[in-house]
Amino acid sequence: MIEQIKNAVLNKLKNDEIRLNHTLGVYETALKLAKHYHLDIDKIAIASLFHDYAKNDTIEQYKSVLTEDEIINYEAFPVMYHALSAAKQIEKDFNVHDEDIISSIKSHIWGKPHMNMYEKVIFVSDYAEPNRIFFDPNQIFELALKDIDLAVLKCMSLTLAYLDRQNIEPNIEQLEAYHYYMEVNSGKTQ
């Protein structure tokens, strides 16, 4: 199953070297965190490999996979389409129905309140993989080994700071997740 998914991802992203390297980086990073936290390695392997499967799909492809409500809900935040779309495709095309895998793929963009360990590991690995350049991925990885909730907050803060610099309004769900992890980590020192 994992080989089949890996091959499908390699094939799908074969013309986008950067995305492919990023995906393999997320995979390696997520596996290390999964081992550290004694998670099911297969689940983490599948979710990490597949998380950006739909990243380069066209709006027509998204519309063919997502519901009209989903398209409308995230019209101002189309980055969400690739996560929702990949989550649907792994169910439909690869017969994967595991809730941890599906929800980790869905929530990899902004995270969400009350994430479980699978969701946190995929969310953080998206930032902590070694090919990231606009912050130090290794610092996030090291933090994730020590305190994954702090690492989650760090990733959210980085994205919000980036949006702020670009004068882009965050999504309400993104802010909810951020405030939740502010609360979870309150009183801790980094």
Interaction site with Fe ion (CB under 5 A): 52, 126
Degrees to nearest 5, angle at CA 164 with 163 and 166: 65
Nearest alpha carbon to residue 22 among 101, 132, 158: 132
**Minimum CB distance to Fe ion smaller for 39 or for 83:** 83
**Minimum CB distance to Fe ion smaller for 119 or for 126:** 126
In this structure, what token pair is assigned to residue 78?
């189309």
Q: How far is the CB of 186 from Fe ion (least distance, A)?
A: 28
Total residues found in the chain within this entry = 190
Q: How far is the CB of 51 from Fe ion (least distance, A)?
A: 5
CA torsion sign, 40 to 41 to 46 to 52? positive
Per-residue CA distances from 55 to 40, 116, 179 (Å)? 25, 24, 27
Q: Would you say 61 and 40 are in contact if contact means Cβ atoms under 8 Å apart?
A: no
**Minimum CB distance to Fe ion smaller for 52 or for 173:** 52
d(CA 5, CA 47): 10
**Minimum CB distance to Fe ion smaller for 100 or for 126:** 126
In this structure, what token pair is assigned to residue 186?
């309150």
Reported as half-sphere exposure (CB side, CA atoms, 13 A), residue 32 has a value of 17
Q: How far is the CB of 74 from Fe ion (least distance, A)?
A: 13
**Minimum CB distance to Fe ion smaller for 87 or for 143:** 87
Q: How far is the CB of 162 from Fe ion (least distance, A)?
A: 15
Q: How far is the CB of 99 from Fe ion (least distance, A)?
A: 19
